[in-house]
Copies of this chain bind each other. A is one copy, B any other.
Amino acid sequence: MIKFHEQANSRMAGDERRQQIIRVAMKLFSEHGFSGTTTRQIAVASGVSEATVFKYFANKEELYADILDHKACSHDFQDPLSLVGEYMEKGDDYQVFYNMALNALRNHEEDTAFMRLLMHAALEGHELTRMFFESFVSSIYERIGNYIRRRQKEGAFRDVDPKVVVRSFIGMFVHHSLNNILWDKEQKLLKISNEKAAESFATILLDGIRKKD
């Protein structure tokens, strides 16, 4: 096991220390899960005593919840549709789906710790799962679903349940990320750039739902 010290052993302002403990704990929880991480490990890795950890957080559960809240509410994890609005207006299907996938893949790659945290939380049945889902995922289903519905009315896409289309597409890139993060870290099965992956996924999906002439 690798010990992980952030420097700055000197006295810190309360807020700073709090944030530092959160950062450290986040890393440890994402690696070992809730019950797999001890308050002792968190203290040591933060360079303080356990007593100090409990000065800032009433108990382990609260620390965990604070991390999840902090993460779920922060804008670290970007809305994958933020860069896609203009393409949706124009009806540029490829750019919509390509950028959605690329954006997501990049986020996942950058923030694997959060991905792992989400998985741990889901397995442990933590409330964050619901929060994250309701505030984040369902909004994507809605907005992309609406886009697909519109394009169907315009005669561009054939008549499939938009929700199934969204699930199919999200499945492609989320599963790809999970492969890279969890199951096939060395990418033995498939090594491919995010750009190429996004391109392939978008192309397959679009050809899969477009009307033929």
A residues apposed to B, CB below 8 Å = 32-36, 116, 119-120, 122-124, 129, 133, 137-138, 141, 160-161, 163-165, 167-168, 170-176, 179, 182-184, 188-190, 192, 197, 200-201, 203-210, 212
Identical chains in the assembly: 2
State A167–B209 Cα separation when bound (angstroms): 18
Which residue from chain B places its CB closest to the CB of A164 in the assembled complex? B200
Quick check: A200 and B160 within 8 Å, CB to CB? yes
Q: CB distance B35 to A189 under 8 Å?
A: no
For A141, give its contact among B164, B189, B200 (CB under 8 Å).
B189
If the complex has contacts A35-B35, A176-B171, A183-B133, are A163 and B138 also in contact, measured as CB distance less than 8 A? Answer: no
- Chain B contacts of A183 at CB under 8 A? 122, 129, 133, 137
Q: How far in angstroms is the closest Cβ of chain B from A96?
A: 16
Q: Are A167 and B182 in contact (CB under 8 A)?
A: no
Chain B nearest CB from A157 CB (Å) reads: 11
